[in-house]
């Protein structure tokens, strides 16, 4: 039985240098290979013409460049594009590209399903299946860049921003997410600025502390409530790590960044009758008074199995006005791609019917997490 080939797609520059050194090759081969893979979109060693024929043959024998399988691609009336891709576990995950003038934001998934079961999020209703490998995470960027016609010279940059806001909790797949983000920011790969790569977390405090000194990407916090009682209901991991502990970890990470002008983005999904009153807006302003931040309000996007509703436009404007009057930079996220179920909170994919949860997931969500979340199966046709 032949050993499994090494998938070079997810290896960072340092890891590729080690790979080539172990082959008896010079480390500079890593630079050549990265450009071919990430900037030229090649997945065939034969086309890498600045390497010898013997080296190309050896690479083909020992390694591969394998992105996730594209199951389908959908384009919204507003230009939003969604790819559904199948990963090694057999589950499908979703990647969304949102064009907005010169800005093109790619929303990338980090897990198949999610263990955290936030009550307003479709992904959480699937349960958790598997972590994505670094190759499966960066492979979503690789697929999108190729499909969008981004050129190697960077003059036609389609993807200007990447947000780890797709399916899954990024900080529960720490190492693979960090390696993938390293590739996003590497000038030999995609060269996205650290200010334009954003990791969004629901509140995994140990992961926030691990980020210190490991990365300097932008940070977004899925808060969604101004107090612990309500956040316990909306974001169950809050029962493990309460708001004050969470904000302390956020502050520690932000204080570790050399650029003191950077602020955390607070994500707040507005749900009718739950967290959208002006009184709650005032409580949110009080909660965040010592946290340098900008607040991104997200009107709830409906999905099957949820009874939540989107607030009225008047309610949304009133909530935003309270925050603006309190001095917060507060934006209202446009709903994009809802006609193809690509809007925030709607990502579903298709998770295999498994009950695998490792000890570290159980520790993260605590014994208070729902016993067995509903799984949405075979959504992809």
Contact 177, 124 (CB under 8 A): no
Q: φ and ψ at 270, to 5 degrees?
A: -90, 120
Q: What would the DSSP string read from start to end of 219-241? A: EEEE---SSHHHHHHHSGGGGTS
The single residue of 92, 114, 344, 372 carrying the catalytic annotation is: 344
Residues 157 and 154: their CA atoms lie apart, in Å, by 5
Of the candidates 77, 97, 76, 103, the residue with the CA atom closest to the CA atom of residue 85:
97
Do residues 84 and 71 lie in contact, with contact meaning Cβ atoms separated by under 8 Å?
Answer: yes
**DSSP-based three-state secondary structure for 350:** strand
Selected catalytic residue, list 22, 61, 94, 118: 94
Determine how many CB atoms are found less than 10 A away from the CB of residue 337.
Answer: 26
Q: Which of 126, 87, 128, 125 is nearest to 108 (CA)?
A: 87
167: left (phi over 0), alpha (psi -120 to 50) or beta: beta
Question: Are residues 206 and 231 in contact, defined by beta-carbon separation less than 8 angstroms?
Answer: no
Residue 177's closest CA among 196, 186, 164, 188?
164
Crossing angle for the helix pair 313-325 and 278-287, to the nearest 10 degrees: 30
Instruction: Check: CB of residue 316 under 8 Å from CB of residue 270.
Output: yes
- Secondary structure, 3-state, 236-280: HHHHCCCHHHHHHHHHHHHHHCCCCCCCEEEEEEECCCCCCCHHH
* CA angle 376–379–381, rounded 5-degree value: 160
Assess whether 73 carries a catalytic annotation. Answer: no
94 catalytic? Reply is: yes
Helices (H), the chain: 13-22, 29-34, 53-62, 134-147, 174-185, 205-211, 228-234, 243-256, 278-287, 313-325, 359-365
Catalytic positions are 94, 344
């Amino acid at each position: 039985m032949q050993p499994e080939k090494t998938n070079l797609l997810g290896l960072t520059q340092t890891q590729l240098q080690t790979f080539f050194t172990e082959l008896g090759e010079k480390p500079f081969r890593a630079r050549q290979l990265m450009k071919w893979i990430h900037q030229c979109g090649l997945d065939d060693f034969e086309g890498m013409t600045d390497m010898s024929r013997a080296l190309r043959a050896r690479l083909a024998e020992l390694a591969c460049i394998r992105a996730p399988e594209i199951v389908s691609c959908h384009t919204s009336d507003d230009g939003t594009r969604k790819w559904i891709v199948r990963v090694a576990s057999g589950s499908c995950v979703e990647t969304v590209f949102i064009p907005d003038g010169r800005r093109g934001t790619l929303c990338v998934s980090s897990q198949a399903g999610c263990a955290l079961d936030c009550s307003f999020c479709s992904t959480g209703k699937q349960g958790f299946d598997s972590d994505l490998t670094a190759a499966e995470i960066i492979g979503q960027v690789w697929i999108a860049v190729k499909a969008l016609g981004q050129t190697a010279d960077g003059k036609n940059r389609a993807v200007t921003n990447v947000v780890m806001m797709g399916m899954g909790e990024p900080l529960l797949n720490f190492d693979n997410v960090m390696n993938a983000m390293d590739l996003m920011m590497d000038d030999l790969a995609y060269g996205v600025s650290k200010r334009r790569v954003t990791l969004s977390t629901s509140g995994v405090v140990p992961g926030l502390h691990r980020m210190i000194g490991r990365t300097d990407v932008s940070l977004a916090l899925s808060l969604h409530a101004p107090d612990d009682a309500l956040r316990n209901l909306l974001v169950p991991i809050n029962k493990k790590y309460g708001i004050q502990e969470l904000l302390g970890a956020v502050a520690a990470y932000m204080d570790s960044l050399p650029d003191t002008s950077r602020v955390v983005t607070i994500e707040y999904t507005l749900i009718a009758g739950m967290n959208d009153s002006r009184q709650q807006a005032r409580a949110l302003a009080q909660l965040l008074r010592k946290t340098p931040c900008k607040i991104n309000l997200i009107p709830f996007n409906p999905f099957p199995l949820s009874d939540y509703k989107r607030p009225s436009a008047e309610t949304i404007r009133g909530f935003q006005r309270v925050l603006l009057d309190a001095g917060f930079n507060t934006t209202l996220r446009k709903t994009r791609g809802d006609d193809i179920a690509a809007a925030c909170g709607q990502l579903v994919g298709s998770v295999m019917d498994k009950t695998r949860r490792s000890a570290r997931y159980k520790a993260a969500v605590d014994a208070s997490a729902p016993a067995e979340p509903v799984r949405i199966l075979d959504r992809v046709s």
